[in-house]
Amino acid sequence: MIKHITTLLLMSICFIHCKQEPKPIPTKEKDVVKEETKEEVQEVAPANNVEEKEPTPKAIPSDWQEIDKATGIAIDIKYATKDNFTKKKIYDCGKCYLRPEAAAKLVEIHNVLKEKYGYGIKVFDCFRPRPYQQRLWDIMPNPSYVTPPEKGSMHSRGLAVDLTIVDKNGKDLDMGTPYDFFGKEAHQDFTGHSSEINKNRKLLKSIMEENGFGSIRTEWWHYSYRTKSYPLDDWVWECE
């Protein structure tokens, strides 16, 4: 009898304890968990919505002026093709930029030739950025033909232009040699040319010098604007 009563007592105690619910997590602790989860989502979510921005086109600096077909001047940049003495393409694309003073004078010269003779200007080379001068030097490291990049040329200052005169049909006047011909026949003082060639060279030389451009003895096509000074420049124009 006593054993039976003891068994019933133990069963009652167990039933009371088993019905008790576990203690809830404190509100403060649950709030902390939610806040941490929210912060992790905020940090990760923006990474899924990142948009790549298109590169901003480089503006043409104010100290450069483009000579384009709108000026009436013919553009034939030889170093943007393989039609040059290196037989390699040096420039990524062919454009003619000069310093504003030199550009204005060149347009003026073109207009005078057109008004007086029905002629015009064709340019073979204008501003040559120093990175392009380096490319040229890497192909032809000979100071007799190419100015060393560390020294720099007037082309790399935006003050030199290689050019010729064309007739009303756009045909080059005969200057005795092609552009970039490295021989005595290309020299300004060569006396073995015809009177027609001498007349054409004299016209080019006189009108360029009258407008502030100076020549060099060994190249009939090369003229540098001498009334203004600019530093060497690394700026490279964009290609479409």
Q: What would the pLDDT profile of 67-98 be if each residue is shown by its tens digit?
A: 999 999 999 999 999 999 999 999 999 999 99
Q: What pLDDT sits at residue 239?
A: 92
């100015």: which residue's tokens?
A: 147
Q: How far apart are CA 91 and CA 94, in angstroms?
A: 7
Amino acid at the residue 107: V
φ/ψ of 171, rounded to 5, equals: -85, 135
Classify strands 120-125 and 74-75 as parallel, antiparallel or unpaired.
Answer: parallel
- Helix (H, G, I), strand (E, B), or coil: what is residue 24? coil
Examine the pLDDT at 111 and tell me if it is beyond 70.
Answer: yes
Choice among 7-21, 88-102, 120-134, 211-225 with the minimum mean pLDDT? 7-21
* Residues marked as catalytic: 219
Of residues 63, 67, 95, 59, the one with CA closest to residue 79? 95
Tell me which CATH code domain 65-225 carries: 3.30.1380.10
The pTM score is 0.74
Please list the helix, strand and coil fractions of the chain in percent, rounded to the nearest 5, in that order. Answer: 40, 15, 45
Residues 6+ apart with CB under 8 A from 211: 105, 108, 109
Residue 61: band (very low, low, confident or very high) from pLDDT cuts 50, 70, 90: confident
- The single-letter code of the amino acid at 15 is F
